[in-house]
Amino acid sequence: MSDIEPQAVEGLLDAAFGSDRFGRTAYRIRAGADAVPALSFALVEDGALVGTIQCWPVAHLAPDGTITPLVMVGPVAVRPDLQRGGHGRALMAHMLEAAESLADSALMMIGDPEYYGRFFGFDADATGAWDLPGPYEKRRLLARAVNGHALPTGTGMIGPR
Ligand X SMILES: CC(C)(COP(=O)(O)OP(=O)(O)OC[C@H]1O[C@@H](n2cnc3c(N)ncnc32)[C@H](O)[C@@H]1OP(=O)(O)O)[C@@H](O)C(=O)NCCC(=O)NCCS
Contacts with ligand X by CB under 6 A: the residue count is 18
Shortest gap between Cβ of 111 and ligand X (angstroms)? 5
Shortest gap between Cβ of 138 and ligand X (angstroms)? 16
Q: Show the site string, 29-58: x = touches ligand X by CB under 6 A, - = not.
A: ------------------------------
Shortest gap between Cβ of 35 and ligand X (angstroms)? 14
Q: Show the site string, 2-31: x = touches ligand X by CB under 6 A, - = not.
A: --------------xx--------------
Of 24, 89, 94, 140, the one binding ligand X (CB under 6 A) is 89
Are 153 and 123 in contact, with CB atoms under 8 Å apart?
Answer: no
Shortest gap between Cβ of 143 and ligand X (angstroms)? 14
Q: What is the 3-state secondary structure (H, E, C) of the chain?
A: CCCCCHHHHHHHHHHHHCCCHHHCHHHHHCCCCCCCHHHCEEEEECCEEEEEEEEEEEEEECCCCCEEEEEEEEEEEECHHHCCCCHHHHHHHHHHHHHHHHCCCEEEEECCHHHHHHHHCCECCCCCCEECCCCCCHHHEEEECECCECCCCCCEEEEEC
Say how far residue 108 (Cα) sits from the centre of its chain: 7
Are 110 and 125 in contact, with CB atoms under 8 Å apart?
Answer: no
3 state SS of 83: coil
| Of 74 and 152, CB closest to ligand X | 74
Choices 3-11, 33-41, 111-119, 127-135; region in contact with ligand X by CB under 6 A? 111-119
CB-based closest residue to ligand X: 88
Q: Is 96 in the site for ligand X (CB under 6 A)?
A: no
Interface contacts to ligand X, rule CB under 6 A: 16-17, 74-78, 83-89, 111-112, 114-115
